[in-house]
Amino acid sequence: MSDSKTSTMLIAHRGFSALETENTAAAFVAAGNRDYFGIETDVHVTRDGKFAIIHDDDTKRVAGVDFSVENSTFEELSNLKLNDKYGETRRDLVIPELSDYIKICKFYKKTAVLELKNPMTADSIRGITDCIKKYDYIENTVFISFAFDNLVEVRKLYPDAAVQFLCGKISDELVNKLAEHRFDVDAYYEYIDKEICEKLHKHGIKINCYTVDSEKDAKRCLECGVDYITSNCLSELD
């Protein structure tokens, strides 16, 4: 167990979202002040080509009003007030822009773990990477996505960029595809076992697992030999 503790790295899912509202500057700062390896978040492209930090395709769950993210301007989204953990709005809880997130990660020296939401155009992915490059943080960013082609586009721009394909179950076919593209994997933790981890590592594939929120599940993932654990609430592995 102690060996796993020294080798497995912990990632804050949507910031330290057990304490502060997910995907806000407050959640990212809370994670920055703790011993996380990385801070995970989600990015969408807005109607006016900006890069909004939000998980869902709409704002209803986090803001109580229903705006489609990709059909709204960033100004419209950023004017919304989000609720805190007590169901109250706070002036500091707003939808950030990608640059806000990257600056916080850089300030706290945390790896940015950025999910590219939904299939994106090559121009959008170039815009996202250009934003990150502006802050000289490409080498400190891990790109993750359920859309395989998003990651292919990232690698066209940055052949050595760290990428992880998000998935559920891991088939032999997927293992071979990941190995062919030199992609790592970010898999749902319930589908992770020691045999799968050994197979992936044999192909040089690193394993992140999401979203692990109990010590029991974290211990099992550690025993399986995962490289990263993504969690909403765990702030240490022991």
Kindly list the averaged pLDDT for each block of 10 residues, start to end, along the chain of length 238: 63 98 98 98 98 98 96 98 91 96 98 98 98 98 98 98 98 98 98 98 98 97 97 92
Q: With b meaning 16 or more CB within 10 Å and e meaning fewer, what string describes 63-98? A: beeebebeebebebbbebbbeeeeeeeeeebbbbbb
User: Distances in Å between the alpha carbon of 223 and those of 4, 25, 67, 68, 175?
Assistant: 7, 33, 42, 41, 21
Domain 2-42+112-231 has CATH 3.20.20.190: yes
What was the pLDDT predicted at 238? 74
pLDDT digits (tens, 9 = 90+) for 203-237: 999 999 999 999 999 999 999 999 999 999 999 98
What does DSSP assign to residue 69?
A: G
pLDDT in tens, 56-74: 999 999 999 999 999 999 9
Q: What is the pTM of this model?
A: 0.97
pLDDT of residue 89: 87
With left for phi above 0 and alpha for psi between -120 and 50, is residue 109 left, alpha or beta?
left
Q: Which of 122, 124, 104 is nearest to 112 (CA)?
A: 104
Report how far residue 38's alpha carbon sits from residue 215's, in angstroms, rounded to the nearest whole number.
Answer: 19
